[in-house]
């Protein structure tokens, strides 16, 4: 028990740092068990990994608050934020070296994600955190170690995990909020919608580096034509703009808030915390932002629906390149999204290749069909919806060609959306310089690809995958750049993708399953056995947050040594 830990610590005073290693083990405290799973080897190394394991009865959180997956995620997120806040309150007065005397826990952003930071089971609650074991130089600092383990940690735990000490109202509200958001997302399909933006939502963010809501922003107000009201399980009713299935065009002058609206819809695949301003901006959970990503690697993707007859007869049914152009990368991103499965594509002119999006009547007259490899998105967007059930919301502020194919046209005017569908349709009708449909054949869909095992054996051995920040993953010496995936929101999702790739290459890859099927297997496992099960560590599993299938597959597809059957 903890007396033992006290004794061992006492005997360590002033000894060399590596002696800390022998602390590994479990110690019984008054209200919890402290599990020291991994001890850092020096004060500058990543901090030591520990868990607090508490009996559910002592914790006291009622079962009704955690009896479904969604509720469990809501409570776990709440406790993680609490624990984080209590750490900040305690501050750090340590004078030691490196991360000495500091406690860390995974940091939550504006989204509420499934995480490993706090595990809630029927019989126990487990907090996974890290501690910088105190040192002066490279010598163990007894006093500081005693303080952090026997004073600070118990205080943080007491204040942030024990139900009686929590802000019960806020906890309850967070659970209700998540349930309402999940319900709203389920209602989309029933109402024939792909997205919903509640009135009074705050869409813009504080700055390019802060995801908090902008202060004094113009609040969202739905155009009358699109306004619907959702009755939520909590009894609350929210009104706002329902964006129907089909093709929705967002137009408007520069700087009038188009990209801000689309960005909010991109994030609408996730649930958000109270006060975020986007609590009821809800999109189909499989919505994918599509952008040009020149320079990316593409491996045997069927982009023939968009690109054909490339110079030198390059095959576009199984198109590969190590350095995709704007248009080919965007075509590959669409094809891959269709492979994993999506019901909604989100496209912004700011990050699109113009020649992928449009080709106007004049250009069609000048450059013969046979000479142009690209069938622009405008000639496929209707087929995608009619034949494949995939809706698109896109911003095109610079060309009216999309008026012909759009089902709805929304204009952003000083941050306020207006319905301009009829006017746009009239203009389209009266126009003489019409463009022609530019393809000779129908869109035939995409090809499901089977990843090969040999993609992952560099120099004969299997390396480990490791996340480096939010936007890159290191596999052996190979860097996977995933900065093109704008719907990835958290470093811990990247950590999780790295472990999922590890698991995928070691256990699931069998040369019969397609990438999409392989991903489904992994998600099934996580669903059944929990997010911990993807980690190879025992005890503290690392800071993981569940990414979507879209982002997991997206990372695999950006791996430059990926080989496809």
Give the interface with ligand ADP as residue ranges (CB under 6 A): 203-204, 214, 217-218, 252, 254-260, 412, 415
Is the CB of 478 or the CB of 486 nearer to ligand ADP? 486
Is the CB of 40 or the CB of 259 nearer to Mg ion? 259
Is the CB of 101 or the CB of 252 nearer to Mg ion? 252
Q: Print the SS3 string covering 97-146.
A: CCCCCCEECCCCCCEECCECCEEECCCEEEEEEEECCCEECCEECHHHHH
Q: Quote the least distance from Cβ 219 to ligand ADP, whole Å.
A: 7
Residue listed under structure tokens 């393809």: 439
Per partner kind, with CB cut-offs from 5 to 8 A, the member of ligand ADP, Mg ion, none near residue 204 is ligand ADP
Q: Quote the least distance from Cβ 261 to ligand ADP, whole Å.
A: 7
Is the CB of 182 or the CB of 349 nearer to Mg ion? 349
**What whole-number distance in Å separates Cα of residue 228 and Cα of residue 407?**
18
Per partner kind, with CB cut-offs from 5 to 8 A, the member of ligand ADP, Mg ion, none near residue 460 is none
- Is position 510 an interface residue for Mg ion (rule: CB under 5 A)? no
Is the CB of 256 or the CB of 267 nearer to ligand ADP? 256
Size of the site for Mg ion (CB under 5 A): 3
Contact region with Mg ion (CB under 5 A), list: 92-100, 349-357, 518-526, 530-538: 349-357
- Is position 350 an interface residue for Mg ion (rule: CB under 5 A)? yes
Residues 67-86 that bind Mg ion (CB under 5 A): none
- Is position 259 an interface residue for Mg ion (rule: CB under 5 A)? yes
**What whole-number distance in Å separates Cα of residue 305 and Cα of residue 331?**
8
Enter the tokens of residue 352: 């699109």
Is the CB of 161 or the CB of 264 nearer to ligand ADP? 264
Per partner kind, with CB cut-offs from 5 to 8 A, the member of ligand ADP, Mg ion, none near residue 542 is none
Residue listed under structure tokens 């129907």: 244
Whole-number Cα distances in Å, 497 to 61, 121, 295, 329, 335: 31, 24, 22, 22, 21
- Is position 527 an interface residue for Mg ion (rule: CB under 5 A)? no
Q: Quote the least distance from Cβ 397 to ligand ADP, whole Å.
A: 7
Q: Quote the least distance from Cβ 229 to ligand ADP, whole Å.
A: 22
Is the CB of 267 or the CB of 380 nearer to ligand ADP? 267
Q: Quote the least distance from Cβ 254 to ligand ADP, whole Å.
A: 4
Position with the least CB separation from Mg ion = 259
Q: Which residues of 350-374 are buried (b: 16+ CB within 10 A; e: fewer)?
A: ebbbebbbbbeeeebeeeeeeebbb
Contact region with Mg ion (CB under 5 A), list: 179-187, 207-215, 348-356, 367-375: 348-356
- Coil, strand or helix: which one is 105? coil
Per partner kind, with CB cut-offs from 5 to 8 A, the member of ligand ADP, Mg ion, none near residue 326 is none
Is the CB of 177 or the CB of 203 nearer to Mg ion? 203
Q: Quote the least distance from Cβ 79 to ligand ADP, whole Å.
A: 33
Is the CB of 201 or the CB of 259 nearer to Mg ion? 259
**What whole-number distance in Å separates Cα of residue 128 and Cα of residue 539?**
9
DSSP secondary structure of 253-308: -TTSSHHHHHHHHHHTTSEE-TTSS-TTEEE-TT-EEE---TT--EEEE--TTTB-
φ, ψ for residue 21 (rounded to 5)?
-50, -35
Enter the tokens of residue 528: 């059944």
Residue listed under structure tokens 């990368």: 329
Q: Quote the least distance from Cβ 258 to Mg ion, whole Å.
A: 5
The partner residues of 70 in beta bridges, in order of sequence, read none
How many beta carbons lie within 10 A of that of residue 513, not counting itself?
16
Enter the tokens of residue 390: 């995939």
Residues 219-258 that bind Mg ion (CB under 5 A): 258
- Coil, strand or helix: which one is 401? helix
Q: Quote the least distance from Cβ 34 to ligand ADP, whole Å.
A: 45
The DSSP code for 16 is B
Q: Quote the least distance from Cβ 349 to ligand ADP, whole Å.
A: 8
Q: What is the distance in angstroms between the CA of the first residue and the CA of the last residue of the chain? A: 56
Q: Which residues of 183-203 are buried (b: 16+ CB within 10 A; e: fewer)?
A: bbbebbeeeebbbbbbeebbb
Is the CB of 221 or the CB of 256 nearer to Mg ion? 256
Q: Quote the least distance from Cβ 211 to ligand ADP, whole Å.
A: 12
Cβ pair 258, 251 in contact under 8 A: yes
**What whole-number distance in Å separates Cα of residue 339 and Cα of residue 497?**
19
Residue numbers at the binding site for Mg ion (CB under 5 A): 258-259, 350
């Amino acid at each position: 028990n903890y007396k033992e830990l006290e004794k061992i610590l006492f005997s360590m005073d002033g000894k060399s740092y590596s002696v800390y290693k022998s602390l590994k083990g479990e110690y019984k405290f008054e209200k919890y068990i402290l599990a020291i799973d991994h001890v850092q080897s020096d004060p500058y190394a990543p901090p030591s990994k520990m868990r607090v394991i508490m009996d559910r009865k002592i914790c006291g959180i009622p079962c009704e608050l955690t009896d479904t997956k969604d509720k469990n995620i809501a409570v776990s997120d709440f406790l993680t934020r609490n624990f984080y806040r209590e750490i900040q309150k305690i501050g750090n007065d340590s004078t030691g070296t490196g991360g000495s005397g500091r406690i860390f826990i995974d940091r939550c952003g504006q989204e509420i994600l499934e995480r490993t930071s706090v595990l809630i089971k029927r019989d126990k609650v487990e907090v996974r955190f890290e501690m910088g074991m105190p040192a002066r130089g490279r010598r163990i600092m007894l006093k500081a170690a005693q303080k952090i383990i026997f004073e600070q940690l118990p205080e943080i735990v007491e204040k942030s995990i024990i139900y009686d000490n929590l802000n019960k109202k806020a906890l309850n509200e967070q659970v209700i909020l998540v349930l309402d958001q999940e319900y709203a997302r389920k209602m989309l399909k029933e109402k024939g919608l792909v997205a919903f933006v509640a009135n009074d939502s705050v869409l813009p963010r504080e700055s390019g580096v802060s995801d908090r809501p902008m202060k004094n922003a113009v609040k969202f107000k739905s155009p009358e034509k699109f306004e619907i009201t959702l009755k939520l399980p909590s009894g609350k009713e929210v009104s706002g703009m329902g964006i129907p299935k089909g093709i929705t065009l967002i137009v408007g002058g520069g700087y009038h808030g188009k990209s801000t609206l689309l960005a909010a819809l991109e994030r609408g695949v996730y649930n958000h915390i109270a006060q975020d301003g986007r609590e009821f901006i809800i999109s189909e959970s499989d919505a994918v932002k599509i952008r040009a990503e020149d320079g990316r690697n593409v491996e045997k993707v069927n982009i023939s629906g968009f690109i054909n007859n490339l110079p030198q007869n390059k095959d576009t049914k199984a198109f590969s390149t190590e350095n995709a152009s704007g248009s080919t990368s965007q075509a590959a991103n669409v094809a891959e999204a269709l492979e994993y499965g999506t019901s909604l594509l989100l496209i912004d002119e700011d990050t699109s290749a113009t020649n992928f999006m449009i080709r106007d009547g004049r250009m069609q007259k000048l450059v013969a069909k046979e000479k142009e490899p690209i069938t622009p998105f405008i000639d496929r967007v209707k087929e995608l919806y009619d034949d494949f059930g995939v809706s698109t919301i896109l911003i095109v502020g610079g060309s009216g060609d999309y008026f012909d194919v759009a089902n709805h046209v929304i204009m952003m005017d000083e941050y306020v959306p207006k319905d301009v569908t009829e006017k746009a349709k009239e203009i389209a009708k009266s126009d003489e310089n019409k463009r022609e449909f530019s393809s000779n054949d129908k869109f035939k869909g995409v090809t499901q690809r089977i990843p090969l095992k040999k993609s992952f054996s560099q120099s004969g051995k299997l390396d480990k995958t490791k996340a480096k920040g939010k936007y890159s993953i290191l596999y052996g010496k190979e860097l996977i750049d995933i900065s093109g995936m704008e719907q990835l929101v958290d470093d811990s999702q990247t950590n999780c993708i790295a472990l999922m790739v590890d698991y995928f290459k070691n256990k699931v890859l069998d040369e019969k399953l397609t990438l999409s099927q392989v991903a489904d297997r992994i998600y099934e496992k996580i669903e059944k056995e929990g997010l911990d099960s993807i980690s190879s560590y025992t005890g503290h599993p690392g800071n993981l947050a569940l990414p979507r299938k879209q982002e997991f597959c997206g990372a695999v597809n950006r791996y430059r040594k990926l080989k496809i059957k």
